[in-house]
Amino acid sequence: MRNCWSNVYPYRDPTSGDVITVETLTIEPQFRHLKAFLLENRYIEPLDNYNQSYLPIVTRDVLTKIQTGDSSWEALVPPRIVQLITQDKLFGYKPNE
């Protein structure tokens, strides 16, 4: 079997302000063994090297901004990604005319 794995990027809980990682993520009791299996077999791995200043950025919010024409999304993603999204009109981007 091919070992497919994924990195899990942490996020900041908007209510508590705590940083939630794959290790600290609270899940339903019946799934704890599955989480342990995935971690132990490295199907998912925590990211240790991340930029905490990115944690407040919520991808759903960025997508909404792109789709509604709110240009503030451009400050939330790298310049090259801004260029690709605007150039190829990705994610429902429509240029303001």
Look at residue 1 and tell me whether its pLDDT is greater than 50: no
Is a pLDDT exceeding 70 seen at residue 2?
no
Using a cut of 0.85, tell me whether the model's pTM lies above it.
no
Output b/e per residue, 39-52; b: 16+ Cβ within 10 A. eeeeeeeeeeeeee
Q: Where are the domains of the chain?
A: 6-51, 59-92
Asked whether residue 83 carries a pLDDT value surpassing 80, the answer given is yes
**pLDDT value of residue 77:** 93
Residue-wise pLDDT for 35-78, tens only, equals 999 999 989 888 888 888 888 888 899 999 999 999 999 999 99
What is residue 80's predicted lDDT score, i.e. its pLDDT?
Answer: 96
